[in-house]
Amino acid sequence: MVVLSVPAEVTVILLDIEGTTTPIAFVKDILFPYIKENVKEYLQTHWEEEECQEDVSLLRKQAEEDSHLDGAVPIPAASENGADDLQRVIQAVVDNVCWQMSLDRKTTALKQLQGHMWRAAFTAGHVKADNFHRRFESCCGVPEITAAEGDSQVGFFEDVVPAVRKWREAGMKVYIYSSGSVEAQKLLFGHSTEGDILELFDGHFDTKIGHKVESESYRKIANSIGCSTSNILFLTDVTLEASAAEEADVHVAVVVRPGNAGLTDDEKTYYSLITSFSELYLPSSA
């Protein structure tokens, strides 16, 4: 087995989710289809609620910023002109969300709405919490999406939970940094195969602190944790994120998982690679 020695100055492990703790297939084939298939009904049901209106305002603001982009979908302001007008605005929001998702945009506006939709799905019982890791089920007309046991559509790779427990026993702090909203992250870790494992994490960060491809985000994270950037080891599948973190003096390792995007030969040579969290060696746990 390949072993990657964690530098002695590292006291914090910062984890990406999609492609790192969690198969890309789980996000793309289970979590995201739920959004696309339910967004219209969600908006129609929750439209009058303050939270939903805040989500729509944020999406509208994002749409204005995106107006120069090819295929961008504007969201008109809702007027008092009756039900037809309301349906036109809702359809524009649906089209905007689907357009953003077709590009796998990581905007805070999109991620916030997704998090609220997943929460509503849990609350309404559309999602079975005890088997969330391999079934994301809807009772509102959407076909049940079930992944067969042993395939890649589970919530977490099997090495994740044992490794995180071990790191914590060795005195490491463990944080999550994902484009998925903190609320969505907590749903995921709150419903793992091993039950609620939120207590394994010292905290969560999302794009509200900044985008993952921007170095400044990692400086802000270190500041928020109260450590130096060089005390952090960031594990991610995306080299653009690794590069931004490294520019901020964060240690990085690129995680190679089944279903992840391939790396170039240069990237394979340049970055420390791991295929499982069990390949990390902590001198302090020796």
Ligand X SMILES: CSCCC(=O)C(=O)COP(=O)(O)O
HSE toward the beta carbon, residue 106, CA cutoff 13 A: 16
Residue 18 binds ligand X, judged by CB under 6 A: yes
| Smallest gap from residue 234 Cβ to ligand X (A) | 11
Q: Are 55 and 46 in contact (CB under 8 A)?
A: no
Residue 180 binds ligand X, judged by CB under 6 A: yes
Task: Give the DSSP letter of residue 18.
Answer: B
Helices (H), 124-264: 160-169, 182-190, 215-225, 239-247
152 is in an annotated binding site: no
| Smallest gap from residue 211 Cβ to Mg ion (A) | 13
Partner interacting with residue 27 (select from Mg ion, ligand X, none; CB below 5-8 Å by kind): ligand X
Q: What would the x/- binding string for Mg ion be over residues 202 to 241, using CB under 5 A?
A: -----------------------------------x----
3-state secondary structure of 99: helix
Which DSSP helix (H) or strand (E) runs through 15? strand 12-15
First to last CA, the chain: 17
CB-nearer residue toward ligand X: 19 or 23? 19
| CA distance to 213, 220, 258, per residue, from 236 (Å) | 11, 18, 14
Partner interacting with residue 106 (select from ligand X, Mg ion, none; CB below 5-8 Å by kind): ligand X
- Residue ranges of the binding site for substrate: 178-179, 212
Interacting residue ranges for ligand X, rule: CB under 6 A: 16-19, 27, 31, 106, 111, 114, 178-180, 184-185, 188, 212
Interacting residue ranges for Mg ion, rule: CB under 5 A: 16, 18-19, 237
